[in-house]
Amino acid sequence: MSQDYECPFCEIVGGEAAASVVAETDETLAFVDLNPATEGHTLVIPKEHAAGLEGLDPAVGGRLFEEGMAIAAAAREALDPDGINFFLADGVAAGQEVFHVHLHVVPRYEGDDVQFVAEQSRADREELDAVADRLRGAR
C-alpha cells in the first residue's frame, strides 16, 4: 500500500466525510456501515490510523472489542436481532478492503442470508500440536 493512500475512515475521523455515528471515545469511533449487511451493521475503528493489526496498539485493540460489545448490547436492545457476529479482516487474503483496522458488528436475523463461510476439515491431533508449537514459538 502506498503512502498516499486516502483512507476513508481517517476522513470520517477528521470530519472530512460524513458518517452516522453510534458512539465515540477518545480512541475509537463507531458508525453504521455505508453498505450494511443487515440493519444495525456497525463498524468500530481506532481513531489513529493502523492499516492492519500489526500496526495497532494492543490496548486500543482491546478497546475496539469493548466498544464492539457495547454496540452489540445496544443492538440487542434497540433492534432485537436473533444473534450478533463480530468480523475483522486483516489483509487482502482475509478480505480486507479498507486498510484501516475495523471491527464489524453485524446484528443477525433469522433468514437474513448473510454468510461467513469457510471450508473446514478435521485435522489430526499431531498436526494440531505441531501448529500449536509453531505459534507458541512465535509469541
pLDDT tens-digit readout, 16-60? 999 999 999 999 999 999 999 999 999 999 999 999 999 999 999
57 part of a folded domain? yes
Residue 61 lies in a domain: yes
Out of 41, 49, 100, 102, which one is annotated catalytic? 102
Domain hosting 14: range is: 8-114
Give a yes or no: residue 136 inside a domain: no
Q: Is 102 a catalytic residue?
A: yes
| pTM exceeds 0.85 | yes
Confidence band, pLDDT 50/70/90 cuts, at residue 4: low
- The type of residue at 133 is D
In-domain check, residue 87: yes
Rg over CA atoms, the chain:
17
> What is the structure's pLDDT at 119?
86
Q: What is the pLDDT of residues 83-139, one digit of tens each?
A: 999 999 999 999 999 999 999 999 999 999 999 888 889 999 999 999 999 999 999
Q: What is the CATH number of the domain that holds 109?
A: 3.30.428.10
1 band by pLDDT with thresholds 50, 70 and 90: very low
Alpha carbons 15 and 29: distance in angstroms, whole number: 12
Contacts of 3 (CB under 8 A, 6+ apart): none
In a domain, 127, yes or no: no
Residue 137, in any domain of the structure: no
Taking residue 73's Cβ as centre, other Cβ atoms within 10 Å add up to 11
pLDDT tier at 5, thresholds 50, 70, 90: confident
Number of domains in the chain: 1
Is there a domain that residue 59 lies in?
yes
Domain membership flag for residue 26:
yes
